[in-house]
Each structure stands twice: as C-alpha cells, then as structure tokens.
Amino acid sequence: MCGIVGYIGDRDCADVLVDALSKLEYRGYDSAGIAVFDKGTIKVEKCKGRLINLVNKMELEGKPNGHCGIGHTRWATHGEPSDINSHPHGNKRVSIVHNGIIENYKQIKDFLIGEGYSFVSETDTETVAKLLDYYYVDDPIDTIIKVISEIKGSYALGIMFRDYPDRIFAVRKESPLIVGVGENENFLASDVPAIIKYTRDYYLLEADEIAVVKKDGVSIYNTHKEPVKKEINTADWDVDAAEKGGYEHFMLKEIYEQPSAVRDTISHRITDGMPDFSNDGIDMEQLKKYRQIFIVGCGTAMHAGMVGQYVIEKLARIPVIVDIASEFRYRDPLITDKDLLIVISQSGETADTLAVLRLAKEVNAATMAIVNVVGSSIAREADMVVYTHAGPEISVASTKAYMVQISVMYLLAFELAYLNGAISEEMCRKLTEELKSMPDIIKETLELKDTCSYVASKLMNAESLLYIGRGLDYALSMEGSLKLKEISYIHSESYAAGELKHGTISLITDGMPVIAVATQKKLIEKTISNIKEVKARGARVVLICADGVEVGEDVADYIIRLPQVDEQLMPMVAAAPLQLIAYYTSVLKGNDVDKPRNLAKSVTVE
Ligand code: F6R
C-alpha cells in the first residue's frame, strides 16, 4: 500500500522517480507526487489521480530539475484522494513521503498546532513532516531518532532535509522499504520492481534502522546512532519479470506464467519422487507432531489455505482450522505451543497476517510462512519459511501466487500424510508425480481461453451472480468469485452448493448467472441436484467439471470441461479458467484490469 521511491545519482531525478513509481503503481494509484532538490530548494510536484496525471502536469508546467529526490504513489487512508492530500508533505525545510498509518497522529497534530504549526492536508503523514521540522536543528539523524520514538504505528519514510541536498534519508517500521545500491547512484523503494531496471542489489532495512543514502554510498544507523553493517541482497529475477512482455495486462501475463511458477516452486522440493522440504530447513518429523494446524491469511491467500485445509485433513488426518487473519487476530484464538500456525502471503507484508504471526509467536506456537517476497517482514519473522517462486506479481488481482501457494499446500499435505502413516509411500509417490505434471496440465487449461472469453461475454452484463461448489470446489468457488468481483465490479457470492436452499436461493431470478464448479466425483451428483434447483428457478448455469465426468448436456447452459487429474488436485486445474473468466469479463467491461478501483496490492494497514 502506497509506493515509495527515492533517487540520488547523475540521472535526471524526476525521470527516474516517475519511471520507478510506474513499477509501483500496483501499491496505490489514487495520487502521485515527487520532491526533487532543484537549485538548492525542495521542489514538489503532486496531484490526484494516476501517475500519468502527474506526468501530464509536469509536461505542462515543467518538471523539477535535479539529481536527488523522493516520490510516492498513494492509496488513501487519511483524507480523500486530492492534490492537497497527495505526498510529498512538509515545508521548505523538510519533505517526506510515507507508507503506513501513524496511529497517534491526532495527539501529535494537536501538540504541533499548540506550537504554532498549521496544517493543510487531512493526512497523518503531514504530522510526521511537521514533527521532523519541529525537532530539526542541524542533525537529521538525531531528528529522525527523536521523531520515531514519538510516533506510533507503521511507517516507511523517505525524507529530504533542505540543508542536505546531497542525500536522502529513510526509516521504516512494519511497512517495507529497501535501499537499492547502484554504481555511483543509489535508490529507495518499497519493492524491488521499482529499481530492478537500475540495480539488482539492495539492502533490506530492519525496523527503525535509519539509512542515509548518498550518490557514492549508503550508511545505516540504529537508534543509538551507531553504524550498522548489513549484507547486500541480490534479486534473482530480471527486468523482464517486472514488464508486461507483450501481454495486454500483467494479470494475463501472470496467469500464463503459472506453469513455470509452479515448476519453480515444487521441483526443488521433490527428491527421488518424494516431497522434500529439507532445503527449507524444515523438520517434517517434528511438524507432524503438532496437535492441530492453523492456516491463516487474507483474501486469495486465505483461499489457498482453504485448499490446504481440505487436503491436509483428508490425506494427513490432522485437524486444520483455516481463518481470515483480520478475524483470527481478534478472536482470542485457542492456539498454544502444541500447535502449528501456517501463514500464507504473497507480499509477506500484509498487516493482519503479520499480526497473527506475532500473536502465535507470543504463545510459542510453531510458525511457518508460505511467502513469495524474499526478505519480507513475514518471511523474516516466521520460524520456518517456504518461499514460493512466482516471481514478482504486479497485477493487483492475485493469480500465480495462489497457484504456487496451493502447490506448496499439496506437497506439505502429501508429506505429512505419508509421515503420519495415513497414506502409503506408493500413494505419496503417485500424488507427487501427479503434482509434478501439473505445469503441463495448467498449460493445457490455458488453451480454454476462448471458451472463457465467451463465457465472460455472457456474464459481463449481469448485475449479480453466484459461484457454487462443494468441498474443494467450494474453496475454489470462493477464489473464482473474489477474482470476478474485484476486477469486473460485478457483485458475486460464493456459496457451498448444499447451503443455497437455506436462504440464498431466494436471490435467484430469471437469467441470473450461476457458475457451478463440480470437479469432485463423489460430490458431483449432489452438486448437479443443486444446479437443477437453481435452473428450475431461472438461473443460467455455467458448469465447470472434469472431462471424464458424465453429465447430460442439458444439465447446464454451458459446460467447460477440464483435463481430469486426481481429484485432490483439481483446484490446480480449475483455477486458471476461473481466473480467465474474471479477466475477460473485466476486459470486456473496459475496466482497468491491473489496477481495479479502491484496491492496492500489499495491504500494509489494518
Ligand atoms: C486478491 C488479492 C488479495 C490478496 C490479499 C493478501 O486478488 O490479491 O485478496 O490475496 O490481500 O495479500 P498477501 O498474499 O500479499 O498477504
């Protein structure tokens, strides 16, 4: 949420900042701004709307001219999107960009008003800028240390002091921030895609470490003002990974990257045909001893957890509770040191998921994170980390991250089931072999794109629709429905098919679309009965089922047939068509697929 960048070097700073921000727009896109040292003063340009509005504004009015500055793309928390509320904030002496939420901003603001300060915006960020100004005498580091000792909440801050035009300052807590290390130029960024074009090397800042970023070097200090020595990280993917590469949207590109993402995620976790997490440093013998497993995440990541719940319980016979992070953290959960918590997160920065991880650690539960972003907060704080290898996911709607998350869930389930004696070695090998074939099967399902586009054309004018399924198909329907609503803006709900007649079926009206997912043989007859119930009430049904399943052609108005694999694995087969239906519906409606309204990637606030 909110993207921060910073630059110092020989290039045109405004150009670099805008270019870097364009790679972070997925973090927030309701306004954008930059501040650049221009002939000894801090020159600020900012405005409401997408980054392109800022670019157009600077084309008309002229851009700041210099080689050192900071930039921001905003996802509004305090105050509506407007020119005034856009970052950077500050005054002639100090300018800042901020990602996060300052919880005690009201007290600070009242205090500063008492000291004679006035405020122009509704943001919490402006209070930090003015507090920096208030404490600033001549030493920026002392000032930053003082300010971070007073502010509460989450922050990643890029800071400029007028008296120090040869450097930018940065500090973070809870919100992510990296310092990119180039040759005779250095960078700040919320995420690697912003800087990958310029450098793959970066420092990860720990909480409350203060970075002083100059053209020829980076110094990092702790809150006692002592220098901190840090290892440089190197991103293992290249510029192409953060570009659209000929696809119309990142979402489509990411859907098509799923076969390779799954391959990259599972192949080095299979040895001699058996799951193997030893390279992740995980002691599986220990893992199977936990009383129960909690799987927690938000949105799509939680839906991946639902698939995990089904397969771990079914195969390994270990009780699993799956929950939404924002609920779990406040329910006073019954988690103890005898339990294992698995958190799932693409970004590794989701505030609620991180809070759940910390809560579990407080009670000494074992914690495992399934995370995509290397070095993210969740990855750093969990006892065990299983990295997914999806590469950067830029589109706000998550696709390939989901696919790799469930692939890890399967491998874990297979190994736990085998170690528990719930399945034989032969069965474990068979399932693992089948999982290994999934990249090819997913590729096959991508050939259904025209079918999905046709279905989308039938859905695009609907006001509301339902997704129904049972068991694993219900978990999948949840994800299909979320994908559709977030990018097409069509209201949709996912219901357990058997639950419809307990209330929801009253919503069915003539012509209402219902997408029924029925990939589980044992449950197909039941789901078909539910389909008949909705059809009898006028619904237009799209049935998604496996190839081998015998269903009468008249059961549904449209049938999408998927390659048949072991039915435990069918979510990996059905996910891509569901994503494609959502994608094409959004495209046909003319929506901004990669940056849907009101959303942002990486939800670093509660
Ligand atoms: C939906 C989507 C979100 C995220 C959720 C968790 O397409 O992307 O629902 O899945 O915000 O994000 P991470 O996985 O970064 O914790």
Atom of ligand 1 nearest to the CA of 405: 14
Ligand 1 within 6 A of CB of 69:
no
Confidence at residue 27, expressed as pLDDT on a 0 to 100 scale: 85
Written as six digits, the tokens of 356 are: 């759940």
Written as six digits, the tokens of 3 are: 């993207």
Residue among 218, 176, 215 at smallest CA distance from 193: 176
- The residue written with tokens 């500063």 in the block is 112
Whether the predicted model's global pTM rises above the 0.95 cut: no
Q: Return the residue whose CA atom lies nearest to atom 9 of ligand 1.
A: 299
What's the sign of the alpha-carbon dihedral 564, 413, 299, 591? Answer: negative
Distance 603 CA to ligand 1 centre (A): 8
Confidence at residue 134, expressed as pLDDT on a 0 to 100 scale: 98
Distance 292 CA to ligand 1 centre (A): 25
- How is residue 314 annotated by DSSP? I
Can you tell me the distance from the alpha carbon of 518 to that of 476, in angstroms, rounded to the nearest whole number?
Answer: 10
Atom of ligand 1 nearest to the CA of 373: 15
Ligand 1 within 6 A of CB of 486:
yes
In terms of DSSP bridges, do strands 186-189 and 210-214 run parallel, antiparallel, or are they unpaired?
Answer: unpaired
Share of the chain above pLDDT 70, in %: 100
Can you tell me the distance from the alpha carbon of 182 to that of 568, in angstroms, rounded to the nearest whole number?
Answer: 47
Can you tell me the distance from the alpha carbon of 350 to that of 588, in angstroms, rounded to the nearest whole number?
Answer: 31
Residue 544 binned pLDDT confidence (cut-offs 50, 70, 90): very high
Distance 102 CA to ligand 1 centre (A): 23
Confidence at residue 174, expressed as pLDDT on a 0 to 100 scale: 87
Atom of ligand 1 nearest to the CA of 483: 7
Q: Return the residue whose CA atom lies nearest to atom 7 of ligand 1.
A: 397
Ligand 1 within 6 A of CB of 605:
no
Ligand 1 within 6 A of CB of 473:
no
The pLDDT of residue 601 is above 90? no
**Segment 30-86, tens digit of pLDDT:** 999 999 999 999 999 999 999 999 999 999 999 999 999 999 999 888 889 999 999
Ligand 1 within 6 A of CB of 353:
yes
Ligand 1 within 6 A of CB of 300:
yes
Ligand 1 within 6 A of CB of 350:
yes
What is the torsion angle, in degrees rounded to the nearest 10, for the CA atoms of residue 164, residue 184, residue 179 and residue 12?
A: 70
**Class level of CATH domain 3-241:** alpha beta
Confidence at residue 511, expressed as pLDDT on a 0 to 100 scale: 95
- H, E, C per residue of 451-486: HHHHHHHHHCCCCEEEEEECCHHHHHHHHHHHHHHH
Confidence at residue 386, expressed as pLDDT on a 0 to 100 scale: 97
Computed on alpha carbons and rounded to an integer, the radius of gyration of the chain in Å comes to: 25
Ligand 1 within 6 A of CB of 44:
no
The pLDDT of residue 554 is above 90? no
Ligand 1 within 6 A of CB of 398:
yes
* Size of the chain, expressed as the number of residues it contains: 606
Half-sphere exposure of 210 (CA within 13 A, CB side): 24
Distance 483 CA to ligand 1 centre (A): 11
Distance 178 CA to ligand 1 centre (A): 21
Q: Return the residue whose CA atom lies nearest to atom 10 of ligand 1.
A: 300
CB 147 within 8 A of CB 122: no
Q: What residues does each domain of the chain span?
A: 3-241, 245-436, 444-590
Chain mean position to CA 297: 11
Can you tell me the distance from the alpha carbon of 43 to that of 33, in angstroms, rounded to the nearest whole number?
Answer: 11
- The residue written with tokens 């700073």 in the block is 13
Ligand 1 within 6 A of CB of 345:
yes
Pick the catalytic residue from 57, 253, 535, 601.
601
Confidence at residue 185, expressed as pLDDT on a 0 to 100 scale: 98
Atom of ligand 1 nearest to the CA of 350: 16
Residue 240 binned pLDDT confidence (cut-offs 50, 70, 90): confident
Residue 197 binned pLDDT confidence (cut-offs 50, 70, 90): very high
Half-sphere exposure of 380 (CA within 13 A, CB side): 11
Distance 538 CA to ligand 1 centre (A): 34
CB atoms within 10 A of CB 548: 10
Distance 600 CA to ligand 1 centre (A): 9
Q: What is the mean pLDDT of residues 259-266?
A: 94
Written as six digits, the tokens of 379 are: 């990855």
Can you tell me the distance from the alpha carbon of 13 to that of 5, in angstroms, rounded to the nearest whole number?
Answer: 11
Pick the catalytic residue from 2, 47, 68, 298.
2
Ligand 1 within 6 A of CB of 602:
yes
Ligand 1 within 6 A of CB of 494:
no
Distance 49 CA to ligand 1 centre (A): 23
**Segment 375-396, tens digit of pLDDT:** 899 999 999 999 999 999 999 9
Reported as type and span, the H/E element at residue 419 is helix 400-419
Buried b vs exposed e over 379-409: b needs ≥16 C-beta within 10 Å?
bebbbbbbbbbbbbbbbbbbbbbbbbbbbbb
- How is residue 313 annotated by DSSP? I
Confidence at residue 396, expressed as pLDDT on a 0 to 100 scale: 95
Residue among 339, 346, 293 at smallest CA distance from 315: 293
Ligand 1 pocket: which of 1, 303, 593, 603 to mutate (most atoms within 8 A of CB) = 603
In terms of DSSP bridges, do strands 186-189 and 3-8 run parallel, antiparallel, or are they unpaired?
Answer: antiparallel
Per CATH, the architecture of 245-436 is what?
3-Layer(aba) Sandwich (3.40)
Asked if domains 245-436 and 444-590 share a fold, the reply is yes
Residue 25 binned pLDDT confidence (cut-offs 50, 70, 90): confident
Out of 112-121, 160-169, 277-286, 313-322, pick the least confident.
Answer: 277-286
- How is residue 82 annotated by DSSP? -
Amino acid identity of residue 517, one-letter, is V
Phi, psi (deg, nearest 5) at residue 187: -140, 160
Ligand 1 within 6 A of CB of 95:
no
Distance 301 CA to ligand 1 centre (A): 6
Q: What is the mean pLDDT of residues 428-449?
A: 97
Q: What is the mean pLDDT of residues 542-550?
A: 90
Q: 275-280: long-range contacts (C-beta < 8 A, 24 or more apart)?
A: 275/411, 275/412, 275/414, 275/415, 275/418, 275/428, 275/432, 276/415, 277/386, 277/411, 277/412, 277/415, 280/384, 280/385, 280/386, 280/387
Distance 345 CA to ligand 1 centre (A): 7
Can you tell me the distance from the alpha carbon of 586 to that of 566, in angstroms, rounded to the nearest whole number?
Answer: 31
Residue among 86, 100, 87, 76 at smallest CA distance from 6: 87
Ligand 1 pocket: which of 27, 250, 350, 602 to mutate (most atoms within 8 A of CB) = 350
* Annotated catalytic residue 452: no
The pLDDT of residue 1 is above 90? no
Distant-in-sequence, close-in-space partners of 512: CB < 8 Å, separation ≥ 6: 462, 464, 465, 466, 538, 539, 540
Atom of ligand 1 nearest to the CA of 602: 15
Going through 222-273 in order, the beta strands assigned E by DSSP cover 233-234, 270-271
Ligand 1 within 6 A of CB of 301:
yes
- Give the ranges where 460-569 is alpha helix by DSSP (H): 472-488, 521-535
Return the CATH number of 444-590, one of 3.40.50.10490, 3.40.50.720, 3.10.450.50, 3.40.630.30.
Answer: 3.40.50.10490
* Annotated catalytic residue 2: yes
Ligand 1 within 6 A of CB of 527:
no
Can you tell me the distance from the alpha carbon of 399 to that of 61, in angstroms, rounded to the nearest whole number?
Answer: 40
Q: What is the mean pLDDT of residues 271-295?
A: 93
Can you tell me the distance from the alpha carbon of 82 to that of 47, in angstroms, rounded to the nearest whole number?
Answer: 7
